Amino acid sequence: MKVLKFGGTSVGSPQRMKEVCDLITDGQQKIVVLSAMSGTTNSLVEIADYIKKKNPEAANNVINKLSSLYVQHVDNLYEDKSHAEKIHTYLQGIFAHLHNLTTEDHTPSLEKEILAQGELMSTNMVTALLQERGVKVKLIGALHFMRTDANGEPDQSYIKKHLKDILAQHPDYDIYITQGFICLNHEGHTDNLQRGGSDYTACLIGAALVAQEIQIWTDIDGMHNNDPRFVQGTQPVRQLNFEEAAELAYFGAKILHPTCIQPARYAGVPVRLLNTMDPSAPGTLIDNHMQWGTIKAVAAKDGITAIKIVSSRMLLATGFLRKVFEIFEVHKTPIDMVTTSEVGLTLTIDNNSRLALIVEELKKYGTVEVDTDMCIVCVVGDLRWENVGYESRISEALAQIPIRMISYGGSDHNISFLIRATDKEATLKALSAKLFQAKA
């Protein structure tokens, strides 16, 4: 069995929903994970924000606009009036529920209840469309099997047991439809998976069932070897190792969240990135295979701040690094890159919300310098140190780029450079010209 996930743009209009139904009705049994229609989640966030601001009138106005949009979609989606009326009735219940929620006090639980409605609507609409076409389809609610534990992490044993029980109870369907993103928490309240959203749902399902393949359908044809917004002539990368894909996702490739593919990686289930707008394109395959001796792609991560701590006391001072890292841990601020010398330490962060407090504490241990508006550019592939000359090729490409930091050796698949944000485009173009012969 395969697991297919379609994002918001893939189900963003009646025509797109029909195209998705065309894609998934190929006679093979599968589970299909759907996001909310594009734009819906933003509207739901807006509704929750108005409730938080104690402005129910504005919240109800947004609900009415969203309701009108869905009425138009339903009128253009179905040929059979009975299916259209069924979905109209269902959606009326959803929007009546949202109207009722505007009278309640805002809580995190209430907001998550509101956000869940988008996926509930899209999955019911697509299920009804498949039923109209005579497809043997079963809607299985994610809230019946997808749950997080007390730490907010997916409860994978619970997911596996309850999902398999549901499928065993309903074995004779060609297609199973479910919601991405939403789940229950360990207390039984509506919640969401946060990191990776619907992609995470698909990978958790695929891992639980040890699926044949997990397909992530978006509006681009897989991961590219550079950012096409800045570099002309980029090409899709046809194959990535899970570690390479995670590095690219972490350092700026927005098509995937770095966490979401981990369940698939551990279960040994390949993940394929495909394009709903061009279904014939091969996309990108992510699996445990490593193509040795190749450089795969370049990615960039914006919004980076570099922090340098210089202390003459650092030399041979036991516990210095521990004390520094504990400051970031206390302030729940992850660190991206780290370089050290005998008397200094430089590291980078991508969240400045606690920067002032962090700097104040770091001043206890030395002189602190801060550089903002920085960017991390990483090159991903087989970059083991035995591959003589790879680092020099990459460095040659950046001969005219001022480099603040270099990180190499922490991974066999990544070499990273810290540069000014203003040098990002020139850096990406230079790397493509040297590594991939793309048009710069």
pLDDT, tens digit, for every residue of 112-145?
A: 999 999 999 999 999 999 999 999 999 999 999 9
CB 269 within 8 A of CB 211: yes
As a whole number of angstroms, the distance between CA 142 and CA 180 comes to 7
The segment(s) of the chain belonging to CATH 3.40.1160.10 are 2-219
Identify the pLDDT of residue 438: 47
- Within a 10 A sphere around the Cβ of 438, how many other Cβ atoms? 21
CA proximity to 324, closest of 373, 374, 366, 369: 366
The segment(s) of the chain belonging to CATH 3.30.2130.10 are 296-435
Spell out, as residue ranges, where the chain has pLDDT lower than 50: 438-440
Identify the pLDDT of residue 221: 83
As a whole number of angstroms, the distance between CA 204 and CA 159 comes to 8
For residue range 34-59, what is the model confidence (pLDDT) as tens digits? 999 999 999 999 999 999 999 999 99
Identify the pLDDT of residue 18: 97
User: Into which CATH architecture does domain 2-219 fall?
Assistant: 3-Layer(aba) Sandwich (3.40)
- For 255-280, letters b (16+ CB in 10 Å) and e give bbbbbbbbbbbebebbbbbbbbeeee
Question: Which residues in 311-343 belong to E strands, given as ranges?
Answer: 338-340
Identify the pLDDT of residue 384: 78
Identify the pLDDT of residue 342: 76
Identify the pLDDT of residue 197: 84
Select 296-435's CATH number: 2.40.240.10, 2.40.10.220, 3.30.1490.20, 3.30.2130.10.
3.30.2130.10
- Cα distances from 10 to residues 34, 39, 136, 217, 291, in angstroms, run 9, 12, 22, 7, 31
As a whole number of angstroms, the distance between CA 76 and CA 71 comes to 9
